[in-house]
Chain A
Amino acid sequence: MNYRKTLAAALALAMLAGCSGGTSAASTPASSAAEPASTVDVSAQYKNLNFRKALSLSIDRNQIAELVLKDGSIAAEGFIPKDFAYGPDGKDYRETAGNLIEYDVAKAKELLEEAKKELGVDNFSVELLYETDSEAPGKVCAAIQQMWQDNLGINVTLVSKTKKERLALMNALTYEIGLTRWGPDYADPQTYLDLFYSHSSGYNNYYFNDEYDALLDKAETGEDAADPEKRWADMVAAEKVIIDDMGLIPVFQNGSAMLINPAVSGIEFHNAGVDSYREVTVNKDDKTLNVAINADLNTMDHHVATDGGSFIMQSLCIGGLAKLDENAQPVEDLAESWEISDDGLEYTFHLRKDAKWSNGTPLTANDFVFAWRRLDDPELQSEYAFILDTIHVKNAKACQEGELPLEELGVKAVDDNTFVVTLDIPCGFALGLMAFPSFFPLNEEFFNAHKDTYAQSLDDLLYIGPYVFSNWEENHEYTFTKNPNYWDAANQAKYADEIVFTFVSEAQSAALSYQQGNTDVVTLTGDLVDQYKSDPGFVTRLQGYAWRLNLNQMIKE
């Protein structure tokens, strides 16, 4: 009996010690600041421009992409990745902005010597933080460690954490250098540039640049917002400002290696936006497409979804005013035509008269009004509500914050077939976003009949897209079959009869199943690339994800 009491006391003590450990750690910086500075203030080295430049110049990004990752990733040429945003002239953003990144070890060494003089130190030590949820970040950071040690003689300590821990550390600014990534929400550089706009998002708040902020103000809400060419030039300039000042160090753009059955064609990959499986041709007897997915379906409610996999399945079942064609340009879908006012502030969409929901109710403009208001509803707290404000829908922000009633949101149903959107500021990429599930319609009557269970089972779903969700085996398999009431059913006949998504978290098992012919589409992990690169179905695709190093200039202990 006695030992139990002792054990309990020991536990309690340990917990107390744990708590006090936390508080004393918080008070350390104050006490150490009072002592004579025998070691360098860690933040100071990251505040030194020459040091930051030396770090960037000594990274051989091509080696990282081609020898370390080998999955179709490419070396970064700037903050904004390639092949996802196109300017008013139709050219890829990167083509206009050019390559802003250099690899020059000699210059790096020179700058490092200057940094040493400026800071009065003999050498540098850095801590490099990365996540272990996937294997690429670890490999990349090990390569960077090697490069910095060999090229600059810097001591590099690697710190590995799970993704959520890494994000928590970066949000709290308790890290030195962190490898992080961003995926675009829409096809415009703004989706990246906004990250470093002052006080925009937690873990980039180590860096502020007035010149950068001013350029973005001008481009997004100011004098150049309505002029696509000037706006584009401002964004190119802003990127150059932040790269010249090394506010961040771009590293690589994500590729993805896949196995796709050569009998399958027509899967559209969109670097900014949702991949489309709507028009896939399957040259097999049963016309069934079997896709292995490495992340499970999270929700069929398109207003609360945040992940690519869920968006793909929602796009099969519903659809937007527009869809993206193979060149990622918006073309008519549920709207048969649209007009944009001369000042670019009013969008009038004419809905298809033949589009019907699967319960027979015709599509009306109110389905969009209701859906967009729900997306913006402070009650719902959709994680994607921000996207209404991103395209500058009138009053989106005020309604989302509860300052104005939802009726004030800039959307209205002029009649059953005419849906009008009013913007505060013109937005060049608004049309492309109409293909994004957050903007899909929702039938008010159906929703109100289901409310809390909406989209949670097959009975709680309504369809207007080319497919219906026919078998929902949670945690495992999601089957979609053709929607007989689809307005374009005749044209849809040539595409896959059935699409089956199977959740397999082990890529090796999925790849074996592909080899057996039971699975048509598999995403490979990096370690499987060498094993499968000679398979006729092996493909690599570039993704919109850009990986960068954040160099924390405001380290908190």
Chain B
Amino acid sequence: MSKYILKRVLISILTLSAIIFVLFLMLDFMPGSPFNDEKLTAAQKALLYTKYGLDKPFFVRFLKYLTAMLKGDLGNSYVLNKNKAVADMLKGPLGVSIRVGALGMLLGTVIGLGLGIAAALKHNSWVDTLCSVVSILGVSVPAYVFALLLAYFVGFKLGWIPILYNSKKVMASFVGPMIALAMSPMANVSRFTRAEMIDVLGSDYILLVQAKGVRQKDLIMKHALRNTLIPIITIMGPILVNLLTGSMVVEKVFGVPGIGTMMVTAIQSNDYNVTIACAFVYSAMYIVMMLIIDIMYGIIDPRIRVAKEGS
């Protein structure tokens, strides 16, 4: 197992290096410059480029950035927070984004599992119909729309949650974004759980467990759920991608000071260092999640663990 993990970690590091390179390349092709002020003359702009080392050739800049990055230096911001170290800028927003995202994912997964199980057990009943409606809505309506609806009805009309993020009431402020973000994972998880559960419940070994006289609760929790979880873990990756992209707009609606808003502003204003750092963080989160999912996969399904250890 440890050999397998080591191998996966190495691949992840390689992937991340490739991502930085591609990001650097793409930013180089991006039109415009960080110094878009219309008042700047060409001569002034050239001086600013020299000052920030942007006049150097692509590979020189790339290698310089990479070596600095290994030392934990992500460069300084050009526009968003002039001359401030990007590493310092990221700390606060990253924590906020991770908390909101993790809560949304947790909430969505737990409710999704519950709904899926209920729908499978009461196959073709009103619970099942409700589950289908929820999953269709959750999959087809973007998180942004949910966020606006929540802000308007629950925040403004009912006044139950703050419309705008308030650092003095952090938990209350997280409710809106968390629910908006939970919709898509909930829909996906419930859909998969339902299908898997129906499949598992119809299998021979469940029949055997039932014949042994195991209580219904134990049958579901101990025997059926474990096998149902395997395919669901595989969809956690795509769900996470949805969550990351969704968080950018959800953060905007609720004014959450997260990394999503920061990244959008950075891209719009060509703040290269901030853009690279944000995109890098997103990629790193994704890759780390995939790594965790792979490891969990092995824990839940011994067959995979054995097969991987053998290779």
- Chain A interface (Cβ < 8 Å from any Cβ of B): 133, 162-165, 167-169, 180, 182, 185, 200-202, 292, 296-299, 301, 304-306, 378, 381, 383-386, 452, 456, 473-477, 502-506, 508-510, 512-513, 515-516, 518-519
Query: Residues of A contacting B31 with CB < 8 Å?
Result: 162, 164-165, 168-169
How far does the alpha carbon of A386 sit from the alpha carbon of B43 in the complex, in Å? 12
Instruction: Collect the chain B residues with CB atoms within 8 Å of residue A510's CB.
Output: 164, 255
Q: CB of B296 within 8 A of chain A? A: no
B53 to chain A, nearest CB (A): 13
A509 & B261 in contact (Cβ 8 Å cutoff): no
Q: Give every chain A residue within 8 A of B81 (Cβ-Cβ).
A: 297-299, 474
Which residues, 115 to 158 on B, are CB-close (under 8 Å) to A?
A: 148, 151-152, 155-156
Q: Which one, A180, A202, A504, A516, contacts B159 given CB within 8 A?
A: A516
Is B38 interfacial (CB-CB < 8 Å)?
Answer: yes
Residues of chain A with a CB closer than 8 A to B159's CB: 516
* CB pair A474 B40 closer than 8 Å: no
Q: A164 near B82 (CB under 8 angstroms)?
A: no
- A473-B167, A503-B255, A505-B261 are contacts. A167–B44 as well, Cβ < 8 Å? no
Q: Judge whether B272 is part of the interface by a CB distance below 8 angstroms.
A: no
Kindly report which residue of chain A lies nearest to residue B167, judged by CB atoms. Answer: A473
| Residue among B41, B167, B253, B258 making CB contact with A506, cutoff 8 Å | B253
Asked if B39 and A518 sit within 8 Å, CB to CB, the answer is no
Distance from B251 Cβ to chain A, minimum over Cβ atoms (Å): 9
Alpha-carbon distance between A158 and B106 when the two chains are bound, in angstroms: 46
Q: Check B255–A378 contact: CB distance below 8 A.
A: no
Q: In the complex, are the beta carbons of A474 and B163 less than 8 A apart? A: no
| B257:A503 contact, CB within 8 angstroms | yes
* Interface membership of chain B positions 38-64, coded 1 if the CB is closer than 8 angstroms to chain A and 0 otherwise: 111110100110010000000000000
Chain A residue at smallest Cβ distance from B41: A201
Q: Which residues of B contact A456 (CB under 8 A)?
A: 83-84
Which of the 9-residue segments B212-220, B234-242, B262-270 touches chain A? Answer: B262-270
Contact A473 B92 (CB under 8 A): yes
| Among A185, A299, A519, contact of B82 (Cβ-Cβ < 8 Å) | A299
What's the least CB distance linking B96 to chain A, in Å?
Answer: 8
Q: How far is the CA of A304 from the CA of B51 in the complex (A)?
A: 14
Judging by beta carbons under 8 Å apart, are A164 and B164 in contact?
Answer: no
A164 interface neighbour in B89, B253, B269, Cβ under 8 Å: B269
A202: chain B residues at CB < 8 Å are 41-42
Instruction: Choose among A164, A299, A506 the residue with the greatest number of B CB atoms under 10 Å from its CB.
Output: A506
Chain B residues contacting A180 (CB-CB under 8 Å) are: 38
* B265 to chain A: closest residue by CB: A296
Question: Which chain B residue lies CB-closest to A454?
Answer: B83
Query: Which residues on the A side are within 8 Å of B261 (C-beta)?
Result: 475, 505
Is chain B's binding surface mostly helix, strand, loop or mixed?
A: loop
B82-A304 in contact (CB<8A): yes
Contact B32 A165 (CB under 8 A): yes
> Mind listing 20 A-B residue pairs with CB under 8 Å?
A133-B268, A162-B31, A163-B36, A164-B33, A164-B36, A165-B31, A167-B32, A167-B38, A292-B164, A296-B265, A298-B81, A383-B37, A383-B39, A456-B83, A456-B84, A474-B92, A475-B258, A506-B253, A508-B151, A518-B162
B255, A516: Cβ atoms closer than 8 Å: no
Among B37, B84, B163: residue with most chain A CB under 10 A: B163
CA of A163 to CA of B48, assembled, Å:
20
Task: Check if A512 sits within 8 Å of B151, measured CB to CB.
Answer: yes
Cα-based distance from A133 to B265 in the complex (angstroms): 11
Return A274 CB to nearest CB of chain B, in Å: 15
- A95 CB → nearest B CB, Å: 27
B297 within 8 A of A: no
Interface residue from A162, A185, A305 paired with B268 (Cβ < 8 Å): A162
Q: Is B192 an interface residue (CB 8 A)?
A: no
Q: Do B255 and A502 have beta carbons less than 8 Å apart?
A: yes
Contacting residues, chain A, for B255 (C-beta < 8 A): 476, 502-506, 509-510
Task: Tell me if B305 is interfacial: C-beta within 8 Å of chain A.
Answer: no
Residue B174 lies at the interface, judged by CB distance under 8 Å to chain A: no
Contacts of B39 in A (CB 8 A): 185, 201, 383-384, 386
| A268 CB → nearest B CB, Å | 23
Whether A518 lies near B93 (C-beta < 8 A) is: no
Residues of chain A within 8 A of B257, CB atoms compared: 473-477, 503
**B24 at interface by CB-CB < 8 Å:** no
Question: In this assembly, does B23 line the interface, its C-beta being within 8 Å of a C-beta of chain A?
Answer: no
Interface centre among A185, A201, A504, A510, by most chain B C-beta atoms within 10 angstroms, is A504
Proximity bits, B80-99, A CB within 8 Å = 1, else 0:
11111000010011000000
Q: Are A516 and B163 in contact (CB under 8 A)?
A: yes
Q: Which residue of B lies closest to A476 (CB)?
A: B257
**Are A298 and B165 in contact, CB atoms less than 8 angstroms apart?**
no
- What are the 9 A-B residue pairs with the smallest beta carbon separation, nearest first? A164-B32, A476-B257, A475-B257, A299-B82, A504-B255, A165-B31, A168-B31, A512-B156, A168-B32
Does the CB pair A306–B37 fall under 8 Å? Answer: yes
Chain A contacts of B269 at CB under 8 A? 164
Is A298 touching B79 in the complex (CB atoms < 8 A)?
yes
Q: Is the CB of B40 within 8 A of A383?
A: yes
Alpha-carbon separation in the docked complex, A508 to B147 (Å): 12
Residues on B with C-beta less than 8 A from A296 are 80, 265
Interface residues of B in 4-28 (CB under 8 A from A): none
**B38 contacts A182, CB within 8 Å?**
yes
Q: A543 vs B39: C-alpha distance in the bound complex, in angstroms?
A: 18
Q: How far is the CB of B101 from chain A (nearest CB, A)?
A: 16
Residues of B with C-beta under 8 A to A506:
252-253, 255
Known: A473-B167, A502-B164, A508-B148. 17 other contacts (CB 8 A): A162-B268, A180-B38, A185-B39, A201-B41, A202-B41, A298-B79, A304-B83, A381-B48, A452-B83, A474-B92, A476-B167, A502-B255, A509-B151, A509-B163, A510-B164, A512-B163, A516-B163
How far is it, in angstroms, between the C-alpha of A292 and the C-alpha of B265 when the chains are bound?
17
**A476 & B152 in contact (Cβ 8 Å cutoff):** no
Q: Which residues of the partner chain B approach A474 to less than 8 Å between Cβ atoms?
A: 81, 89, 92-93, 257
